[in-house]
Amino acid sequence: MTEYTLQELCTKVDLPVRTVRYYVQIGLIEPPTGETRAARYGDAHAQQLDQIRRWSAAGLSLSRIRELLAQPDADALRHDAPVVGVVQVKSHVQIADGIELVIDAARAALTPQMLRELVDGVAKLHAEIRSRHRKPS
- Residue 128 has a pLDDT of 94
Over residues 110-120, mean pLDDT: 82
The pTM score is: 0.54
Listed residue (61, 112, 108, 32) closest to 17, CA to CA = 32
- Residue 54 has a pLDDT of 83
Mean pLDDT of all residues belonging to the chain: 83
Over residues 47-63, mean pLDDT: 85
Which one is predicted more confidently, 126 or 71?
126
Number of residues written out for the chain: 137
Q: 80 - beta bridge partners?
A: none
Query: What's the rounded Cα separation, in Å, for the pair 75 and 29?
Result: 14
